[in-house]
Chains A and B, each alone.
Chain A
Amino acid sequence: MSSTPTPHDHHLPYAEADLGEVDGASFSQAAAPDGRSVRVTGTCPRCHGSTGTEFRRGNPGTGTKGLFDRLSGRSGGTARSESEPEPLHGEVHFCECGHGHPSIPAEVRFVGCGASWRIAP
Chain B
Amino acid sequence: MSARSDRRWAELARDLEFTRLPELRRQAEGWRTGLTGLTALLAVLVLLKGRDSLDQLPDWAGNTATALLALAFLLLVAGSLLAVRAAHGVPGEEILLGGQALRRWTEREVGRVTRALARASGCCAVGLVLIVGALGLAWATTEAAPSHLVRVRTGSTDLCGELVRADQAQLVLRTGPDRAERTVPQVDVAGLEAVGSCPK
Binding site for B on A (CB under 8 A): 16, 18, 37-38, 55-66, 75-81, 84, 87, 90-92, 94, 109-110, 116
Instruction: Find chain A residues with CB under 8 A from B99 CB.
Output: 91-92
Q: Is the CB of B92 within 8 A of A77?
A: yes
Chain A interface main SS type: loop
Interface size class on chain B is 35 or more
Chain B interface main SS type: helix
Contact of A66 among B17, B20, B112 (CB under 8 A): B112
Given contacts A84-B96, A91-B101, are A59 and B23 in contact (CB under 8 A)? Answer: yes
Residue of B nearest to A31 (CB): B96
In the complex, what distance in Å separates the CA atom of A66 from the CA atom of B86? Answer: 10
Q: Is the CB of A60 within 8 A of B105?
A: yes
Q: Is the CB of A94 within 8 A of B10?
A: yes
In the complex, what distance in Å separates the CA atom of A62 from the CA atom of B22? Answer: 11
Contact of A84 among B14, B85, B104, B112 (CB under 8 A): B104
In the complex, whether B148 has a CB less than 8 A from a CB of chain A is no
Q: Is the CB of A80 within 8 A of B86?
A: no
Contact of B95 among A18, A75, A84 (CB under 8 A): A84
Given contacts A16-B3, A58-B17, A92-B10, are A64 and B85 in contact (CB under 8 A)? Answer: yes
Taking A79-B94, A87-B101, A94-B10 as given, write out 12 further A-B residue pairs in contact, using a Cβ cutoff of 8 Å, ordered by the A residue number.
A57-B96, A60-B94, A60-B95, A61-B109, A62-B27, A62-B87, A64-B85, A76-B90, A76-B94, A80-B94, A109-B11, A109-B15
Q: Is the CB of B7 within 8 A of A87?
A: no
Contact of B101 among A63, A66, A90 (CB under 8 A): A90
Instruction: Find chain A residues with CB under 8 A from B20 CB.
Output: 58-59
Given contacts A84-B96, A91-B98, are A62 and B6 in contact (CB under 8 A)? Answer: no
In the complex, what distance in Å separates the CA atom of A92 from the CA atom of B104? Answer: 13
Within 8 A of A (CB), among B56-111: 85-102, 104-106, 108-109
Contact of A63 among B9, B17, B93 (CB under 8 A): B93
